[in-house]
Amino acid sequence: MSKLFYSADRNQAIKPLSELPEPAVKLLANASRYYASEELVVAVNVALILGQPLLLTGEPGTGKSQLAYHVAWRLGLEPLLQCQVRSTTTYSELFYQFDELTRFRDSQPGKEEKPLVEYLRLNGLGKAILFAGGPDAELTPIPGSRTPQGQRPLTHFRDLLGDAHYPANAGQATVVLIDELDKAPRDTPNDMLDEIEKFGFDIPELGVRVQLPEASTSRPIVIITSNSEKSLPDAFLRRCAYYHIPFPDTEVLKPIVYSHLPALQEREAWLHEALDLFAQLRNRGKGIRKPPGTAELLSWLRMVCSLSDLTNQSLKETLRTADGESNPNVQRLLNVLIKTKEEWDIAKRIISDWAQ
């Protein structure tokens, strides 16, 4: 075995940690290496032409979130703006949050009064609208609201987000990723879409409405992901462009692998074996309830490539002596691909049978 970074044997030479490669999550997030199928490219263009959010479904690890990063990179609209959805996320929190608790504390006797805007935090969708409008766009007073005594009026977008916080491409479109929307409460998707279609939102705490000017030629590009943990409202679905990313077959997996690990183009026969074994582990009929995804496949292949002794012969030859317990090569496969104790023994039997 080649030298590793850790060994229980004090007499064995190890590599210095300074030689550690970049973390797998960073490499997987490299937008320039993303592989988009022709069908996915069509779906993105449909959403752009219609000016609708693109809703993506598909099992975890198929590249739903990474598509947003790729679109932002390919269109020159980086950095991406992201909204991470939780089970308590309301639609307004996708646009902004107002820190009422800190404001209450600051309102106590003896505290210095601060401008209300200092308690405002703009989130992904809110920033996208402000960036598209630019700092000179005007705010609209909410009917019936009044500027609190001692507070200066808020009249332009720059009053909510100072000039220094606007990107160099202010006034242009931005890409917003709303990740795992299916986690949100039932009303959040519909309420959010009402505001996205208008490209505006109210901030009642400040008495103003943020509205993208009608003359603006830029509009946010919204990409939404769902793991289908629960169904989304029909009214929401009608107003989205939709695409389900299927799990790629072997022929589609190859260009995905090559884009991340180009060195494997010279080991095509070995890769073919690896993808065949990967397909066996994904076969739900053999007892694996949580099959590994594309991201795990890429991490596994990257790990195996770093252990050069595993790629010096065919994969079946490497595993053929496996007894399911003692062969360390089996352990190297399972550490990345199988994530539950219940399925560990099942996976070892699958690998042993496949190698024979």
Per-residue pLDDT tens for 295-334?
899 998 888 777 666 666 788 887 776 454 556 777 677 8
Residue 2 lies in a domain: no
215 and 260 housed in the same domain? no
The residues near 213 (Cβ < 8 Å, ≥ 6 apart) are 133, 137, 138
pLDDT of residue 227 exceeding 80, the answer is: yes
77 and 192 housed in the same domain? yes
Residue 8 lies in a domain: no
- 302 to 21, 67, 114, 262, 295: CA distances (angstroms): 10, 21, 52, 11, 11
167 and 299 housed in the same domain? no
What per-residue confidence (pLDDT) applies to 28?
75
What is the residue range of 59's domain?
31-244
Residue 133 lies in a domain: yes
Quote the percentage of the chain above a pLDDT of 70: 94
What per-residue confidence (pLDDT) applies to 183?
93
Per-residue pLDDT tens over the stretch 17-44: 998 888 877 777 789 999 999 999 999 9
Sheet holding 54-57, edge to edge: 81-84, 175-179, 221-226, 54-57, 241-244
What per-residue confidence (pLDDT) applies to 109?
83
Burial zone of 29 (CB within 10 Å; 0-12 exposed, 13-18 middle, 19+ buried)? middle
**CA-based torsion, 129, 131, 133, 138: positive or negative:** positive
Question: How many distinct structural domains can be found in the chain?
Answer: 2
Residue 267 lies in a domain: yes
86 and 223 housed in the same domain? yes
Phi and psi at residue 157, in whole multiples of 5°? -55, -35
Domain boundary among 244, 266, 288: 244
Residue 342 lies in a domain: yes
Q: What is the DSSP string of 28-55?
A: HT-GGG----HHHHHHHHHHHHHT-PEE
131 and 197 housed in the same domain? yes
Domain boundary among 221, 244, 267: 244
217 and 253 housed in the same domain? no
pTM (predicted TM-score): 0.87
Residue 325 lies in a domain: yes
Cα–Cα distance between 130 and 161 in angstroms, integer? 8
Residue 9 lies in a domain: no
Cα–Cα distance between 156 and 210 in angstroms, integer? 9
Which tokens sit at 198? 């208008």
What per-residue confidence (pLDDT) applies to 326?
54
72 and 220 housed in the same domain? yes
Name the more confident of 258 and 61: 258
Total Cβ atoms within 10 A of residue 32: 9
Domain boundary among 244, 263, 284: 244
Residue 235 lies in a domain: yes
240 and 302 housed in the same domain? no
8 Å CB contact between 284 and 350: no
